Chains A and B, each alone.
Chain A
């Protein structure tokens, strides 16, 4: 089984996670730029973070046989802090990089005017750089926030097939698929969305334009939720081809629209242990 996790924050994960993910079949990931738990107070902190997403993290992932790509943006939460706003003026130079496969995570957190402005501006950047957009939907007031997000996406003029709205649930999936955007689901250990509910959503809405991710980060989360969802799909009667579509071909198709997803196709006979898996630390 080959798995592409389209949304996972590997910067916050350990080498054990990389090993377990490889063993579970994960061969490629996209790490969206997001907040770090601790608020940042200057633009320079973002630039070092972006450099890490383009430099050290793909290097680290490669040691474990996993291909790492990223998305770059000013996240909605920190878009509310005027100290962080200069980041918006520097995004052009990051969005020009080879391993950047989308603008993201953008979207709403508390639906403030500052978030409106950052979302609209970054959708224009996606258009200018011919990149897809990864749009986070708010955890609070989700249905209203999702509707408002879809309005802003429509007004921006970006093609809906270039946009994924993420962290969806039973109440928001319908409107997103109807809009022509992609529907993203983050499978968490508790609350929000589980693998069994995900299977029911797939049974009702089909596998077209659906992305499943673990969204694992520094909080309580599980980087193997992609594999667990695949197993739940098989247990519920989905076939291997359905699993491959949802967990590999769909994310490849979505991020492939960037023209920058330079992916080595995993070999079918690859063993579940990766040989080069000792992280190089350099000289003491």
Chain B
């Protein structure tokens, strides 16, 4: 079984796909709004919350919903750089409802922010809304989150029942320490007589020494490998 993981690369700019699905009214609104934002960045504060009602919210592709992609278009139109860009994005996140916050989090890889947006990722990871946790663990977190925090985030996904194939970057970032944490988690579950999520086992299997002498755990892993053939 290959390690399941979402593509570690940044999602492609959703703008072309978005333009193709918007009707004339919505496309005109978005074009004019992006132009306003480019001319005057403060306009984004008024326009960003209205996006979902103006452009809709259906599914666009594997990465994006229509509203998230349209909000990303406003963010990429911001004529700001560095700390000024980070401050404006953080402000939209602070004042955003969950749909706006998800859009900010998903757009981070499209913005030149360095590590400056990590506080937004951390806020989502502290919370309990799984839709925000998922949105936070995209390519930006995969590229910027320090190892210890990345491992904790993966473990939190396991606790929150977020499938690990929705977490970006595991194929390059899963390490022995994460395997040890997942093995300990699985052991705890087995001892408690509870089910072990199957999607963690390949990550444990990649570092077999973390299983140690724990027979039940070894057993669970062997079962999975048998099924895989």
Residues on the B chain within 8 Å of A281, using CB: 128
Our pick among A51, A93, A98, A282 for the contact of B128 (Cβ within 8 Å) is: A282
Q: Does B130 contact A (CB under 8 A)?
A: yes
B159 touches A59 (CB 8 A): no
Please tell me if A280 contacts chain B, counting CB pairs below 8 Å. yes
Query: Which residues of B from 79 to 102 have beta carbons under 8 Å from A?
Result: 95, 97-99
In the assembled complex, the Cα of A280 lies from the Cα of B128 at a distance in Å of 7
Subset of 27 A-B contacts with CB under 8 Å: A54-B97, A54-B98, A55-B97, A56-B129, A58-B98, A59-B129, A59-B131, A93-B45, A93-B49, A96-B50, A97-B97, A98-B52, A98-B99, A99-B97, A260-B53, A280-B130, A280-B160, A280-B161, A281-B128, A282-B127, A282-B133, A282-B156, A282-B159, A282-B160, A283-B155, A283-B158, A283-B160
Residues of B within 8 A of A56 (CB): 128-129
Chain A: CB-nearest residue to B46: A96
In the bound complex, CA of A188 to CA of B135 (Å): 41
Interface pair A284/B129, CB less than 8 Å apart:
no
- Decide if A59 touches B98 in the complex (CB within 8 Å): yes
Instruction: State in angstroms the CA–CA spacing of A54 and B46 once bound together.
Output: 18
Give the interface residue-count category, chain A: 10 to 19
Interface residue total, chain B, C-beta cutoff 8 A: 22
Tell me which residues across on chain A come within 8 A of B49, comparing CB atoms. Answer: 93, 96-98
Q: CB-CB < 8 A to A54: which residues of B?
A: 97-98
B interface residue numbers (CB < 8 A to A): 45-46, 49-50, 52-53, 95, 97-99, 127-131, 133, 155-156, 158-161
Main secondary structure of the interface of A (DSSP, over half): loop
Interfacial chain A residues near B129, Cβ < 8 Å: 55-56, 59
**A 24-67 to B, binary, CB cutoff 8 A, 1 in contact else 0:** 00000000000000000000000000010011101100000000
Given the contacts A283-B155, A283-B156, A284-B159, A55 and B128 also touching, CB distance less than 8 Å: no
- A84-126 residues with Cβ-Cβ distance < 8 A to B are 93, 96-99
Write out the residue numbers on chain A whose beta carbons fall within 8 Å of the beta carbon of B127. 282
Q: In whole Å, how far is B178's beta carbon from the nearest beta carbon of chain A?
A: 14
Give A245-267 interface residues, CB cut-off 8 Å to B. Answer: 259-260
